[in-house]
Structures are given as structure tokens and as C-alpha cells.
Structure 1
Amino acid sequence: MSVATHLGLADPNSEVLTLAGQRWSRWQMSHEELLVVDELADLPAWLQAADWDEADRVLLALAQLSAPDGGDDVAATAALAWVLLPGASLLAFRLGRLSRRIDEILAAQLWVEARTFPWQRGHKVAANILMNTRKGVMRDLGIGALGDRTIPFPPSAQVWTEAAYGVLPAGPTAEEELLDILELAMSAGALSDDDGELLLGLAHAADLASPARSGRGHAGLMAPAASETLAADRGVSARTIRRRAARSVSVLRTVCGAHQRVSA
């Protein structure tokens, strides 16, 4: 089961999302930030194209409507969790090695964070909710707050032998770095869930094909062998795969550049 299924949000016509859609116009009357779209169903697409600050104001309005000390409306909680599902799904993928129940655990934590976000002093709603969701999942699994790459090792694990001889742990893998970038872009609404999955699939196919890589290019993502493999799986042309991948890579460059400027 997916995070969306555990939350009852896999179907846009589910009872709770239908209720949220019905209340959308009423919410707009008290929160003009929500006037950006006429229907709740149009919000995910708007968030994907919106400026970060504008998107954050919309999410903050939903957080206020959701919170017990705000609107205390669980339909708003569902709406907020729903638009954050792409980032939550990617987070579940990253943490999947930690528990077979990761989707269930993460769904429960996401609901709690969407329901209790401190809207009075809140900002960067998507990033903070997803970050706090990750921390809560790690805490529930008894792993602590050392970061999402920390996993418990049994006493016999090779890592202890390496540590005893002063072998330094390797840095993040290419897969982990890609997942970090995708999580950043998807949580900000800059990249869709499907585009993220396409890039992951293409990266996997490129790794299996081991294409020659040179220059600054696309690290083998545009290699014919990789795009043709993914195209066959998806039932589209390799050219379509490469076009979508190139557009997504361009988005990732923009997101990473903006993130580095903010972090500097």
C-alpha cells in the first residue's frame, strides 16, 4: 500500500477530498490566498508552476485551516496532506529500507504534521512538514535524530570492523544525492511525482547500461540505451523520454541554484 492509500487520499474523489472540494469556496472567503484557483482539484498543478513564496502562502492558509487552534478542519488537513503526497511518496521510497511498514508509519506522521503545523510563526510549509515527518518516522523506528541515512547495524556488521581500523565511511551515493535533489524539487512543487519517477527509472536504466560519460552532459541519462529501455516499459517513444528528462533536469538545475543561493 502507498502513503496515499493509507491516508485515504489515493482517489481524488474520496469522501474527505470531496468534502474539502466542497468547502474550498468557503475557505476562500476567509483566506484570500486560496483565490489562486477556483477548484481544489486545480491546486496541485498551480503549486507546481507557482513561485515558491506564493505557494508557501497558500500552504500556510491550509495549515491554519487545518490546525486545532486555527480552523480545526480535518478536510483542510486532508487537502494539505494531499498536495504534499509527491514529496511524502519520495520520502517513503528513501526510507523504505528501514521498515516494511514505512508507508503506514509515514502516512500517520504526515497527518500529524499537517494537522499541527505551527501556522502562527510558520514558513516553508512543505519543506518543514516533510522534514518533521521524516524526523518523526525516524523517532518512531528508534533510530534517533542522526539523519535519514542513519540505520541500525547489528554487532556483526562490517561497518564496525571498518570503524575499528579507522576506515572513514563513504560519502552519499549517487542514488542518495539524486533522491535528495528530487525530494527538494518535488516538495517545492517544481517537479511532478511522475517526472520524478521517470528520472529515477532513467537513472537506473542508465546505470545498468553503463554508457560512456564525458563533459558536463546529463551523466548518461540521455544515452539511447537508457531512454529506449524506459520507453519500452512506458509504451512511449525514446524521444519523448529524452525530451521529458531534459526538461526535468533543467528544472532541477534551477531548483538547486535557488536553494544554494538561499543557503549561502
Structure 2
Amino acid sequence: MSVETALGVSSQTAHQLQTDRWPDWSRQCTAMAKVGCTDVRGWLRPAAGPNGQRALYELAVLAAADGGDDVDAAKLLCWAMLPAACRVANELSDLDPDIDAFVASQLWIEVRTFNWRASNQVAGTLSASLRRSLLRESGIGAPRQPELDDAPWPVLLERLAREPANEHLDSREVLLRVLDWGVESGTIQPADRALLLDMVDASHADPRRRSPRRVLFGTSSLLGPGLGITARSVRRRGRRALDALAAHASELTEFLDPLAS
């Protein structure tokens, strides 16, 4: 599968949309009328100049659900953004075996929710938002709550991803004690404990292990079928449990310190 296939908008489809809808769009949009019925992807290039950039912005406004709410415009804009989306899919290919479908669905969401009131930089804003949203949905992006930036769980994952430097410190024991504390304190549920343990075990078996957080959440596609839920649900449940533990950062710090001594 490719991002284009997952999106369901081919070059032929895009050309037909442009041909069929151009008279209507050009009546509504001044810049689109000026550039004429041309290759929309050309508007993303610097050579397109101010008119091309303005035409792309007008297309984005038409495509947004709170703008023109035009599904055809959204399809055309998604097609125009495919080269950028494919680059993102290649760079994040280890997030999910179905990364192309993941990217295609998120690209559609980004186009339909583009904040055209706040920005007229369409291509750059959509590309950045697409990458950021994919990482966040996979559980490895920046925390939604800034106050959790210093939460201990990323450090714990780093520790669990390698052999402990201190031979007297067993990382598995640390993990089990933290998770047991989480269940006993009511911070997480027993099912969350089991899921996090499964994710850690699966991530340790992954030969890539370049990034502890990426590999941990990358196990979702392996664990989902066995649990009868989607890979995305695994990621969301895992992230929610880790965030719940992170909210007790000070308590966990006090809890973990004796283990390191």
C-alpha cells in the first residue's frame, strides 16, 4: 500500500476534480482565477510566487470544515500534499506497519481542520502538523500537558531499554515495583500493568531498539490482535497509563531513589 492508495485520490482523480470544479472555485476565489487551471502542486513551489501561495491558501479555506466545507477541495489539497506526506511516512515508517494508512487518515484530518484564520502558510503548516500529530498519536511526541515535561517515565524507558549500569540494580525489578505501586495506589488498573509489561517485553525483542519510546509504542501492532483491539487503542492505553504514573512524579522519585542506592 502507498499513501496515495490509502488516501484514494490518484493523479487522474485530482485532474478530473480540477477540471470539473474549477469554474465554481475560480468564481469564489480571486487568486485561483488569476493562476488559472494548472497543476495545483506547482503552487507549493517558490516559483509560483504570491499568486500561487494565495491560490493554495484559498483552496485550503475551501477544504476546511469550518471554511468552505468542500470535500472535493479537501481531496485536491490532500493530493497536492502527497509528496510531503510520503516523506513523513518514510521517515516514520517504524511507527506502525500500516503507516501509509495512518498518514493518509491523519493528512485528511489536518486538511479538514486547517486553521486558516491563524496561518496562510499552508504547505509548511500542514506538513508540521501532520508529523506532530502522528508522533503524538503514537505516544512519542511532546506531552499534551507541559507540566509533565520532567516526568520520570521517559527516563525509566531509557533505563529499561538497556542493561543497567549498576549490576545491583535490576531494571525489571524497578519496573515491577513501579507498576505494583501504581496499581496499589489506584493510579493505574491491573489491566494497564499487564499491558505495559507486555509492551516492554515485546520492545526488548525488537532488534531495532533505536529509541526506547518509539520501539515501546511500536509494539502496538503486535499486541493489538492478541488483545482484540486496534494498534491505536494499544498506544492510547499505554500512553494514558504512563501519563497517569507521570502525574505522580514526585512520589515516584521518592519511591525509585532507594532502589538505585
Give the deviation of 1:116 after TM superposition: 1.2
CA contact (8 A) 1:37 1:46 kept: no
1:38 equivalent in alignment to 2:36: yes
What number of residue pairs does the alignment pair up?
Answer: 156
CA contact (8 A) 2:35 2:52 kept: no
CA contact (8 A) 1:77 1:115 kept: yes
Give the deviation of 1:101 after TM superposition: 1.3
1:92 equivalent in alignment to 2:75: no
Unaligned runs of 5+ in 2: 144-153, 170-261
Q: Return the match for 2:59 from 40, 58, 62.
A: 62
State how far apart, in whole Å, the 2-side matches of 1:84 and 1:159 are. Answer: 43
Q: Which residue of 1 aligns with 2:6?
A: 6
SS at match of 1:70: coil
State how far apart, in whole Å, the 2-side matches of 1:65 and 1:135 are. Answer: 23
State how far apart, in whole Å, the 2-side matches of 1:54 and 1:37 are. Answer: 7
State how far apart, in whole Å, the 2-side matches of 1:18 and 1:110 are. Answer: 21
- Distance change in 2, residues 1:127/1:47 (3 Å): closer
- Identify the range of structure 1 (28-37 vs 130-139) with the bigger mean alpha-carbon deviation: 28-37
- After TM superposition, the score normalised by the length of structure 1 is 0.52
- Distance change in 2, residues 1:29/1:44 (3 Å): same
Q: Which residue of 1 aligns with 2:114?
A: 117
SS at match of 1:13: helix
CA contact (8 A) 2:60 2:114 kept: yes
Matched letter for residue 3 of structure 2: V
What are the equivalent positions in structure 2 for 1:142-181 lying under 5 Å apart?
142-145=139-142, 156-158=160-162
State how far apart, in whole Å, the 2-side matches of 1:45 and 1:51 are. Answer: 6
- Deviation track 1:183-241 (CA, whole Å, cap 9, x = no partner) reads xxxxxxxxxxxxxxxxxxxxxxxxxxxxxxxxxxxxxxxxxxxxxxxxxxxxxxxxxxx
Q: Which residue of 1 aligns with 2:21?
A: 23
Q: Return the match for 2:104 from 94, 103, 107.
A: 107
- After TM superposition, the score normalised by the length of structure 2 is 0.52
The higher radius of gyration belongs to 2
- Distance change in 2, residues 1:153/1:103 (3 Å): farther
Give the deviation of 1:156 after TM superposition: 4.4
State how far apart, in whole Å, the 2-side matches of 1:73 and 1:153 are. Answer: 44
CA contact (8 A) 2:43 2:55 kept: no
Q: Return the match for 1:75 from 44, 47, 72.
A: 72
- Distance change in 2, residues 1:159/1:20 (3 Å): farther
- Distance change in 2, residues 1:113/1:141 (3 Å): same
State how far apart, in whole Å, the 2-side matches of 1:89 and 1:52 are. Answer: 24
Give the deviation of 1:142 after TM superposition: 1.5
State how far apart, in whole Å, the 1-side matches of 2:77 and 2:62 are. Answer: 10
State how far apart, in whole Å, the 1-side matches of 2:65 and 2:43 are. Answer: 27
State how far apart, in whole Å, the 2-side matches of 1:128 and 1:160 are. Answer: 41
State how far apart, in whole Å, the 2-side matches of 1:120 and 1:159 are. Answer: 50
> Identical aligned pairs, as a percentage?
36
State how far apart, in whole Å, the 2-side matches of 1:68 and 1:98 are. Answer: 28
State how far apart, in whole Å, the 2-side matches of 1:159 and 1:27 are. Answer: 60
SS at match of 1:80: helix
CA contact (8 A) 1:3 1:88 kept: yes
State how far apart, in whole Å, the 2-side matches of 1:74 and 1:90 are. Answer: 24
State how far apart, in whole Å, the 2-side matches of 1:34 and 1:106 are. Answer: 28
What are the equivalent positions in structure 2 for 1:149-228 lying under 5 Å apart?
156-158=160-162
- Distance change in 2, residues 1:76/1:159 (3 Å): farther
- Deviation track 1:18-58 (CA, whole Å, cap 9, x = no partner) reads 23431112101110111244325x22235435246443312
State how far apart, in whole Å, the 2-side matches of 1:159 and 1:86 are. Answer: 40
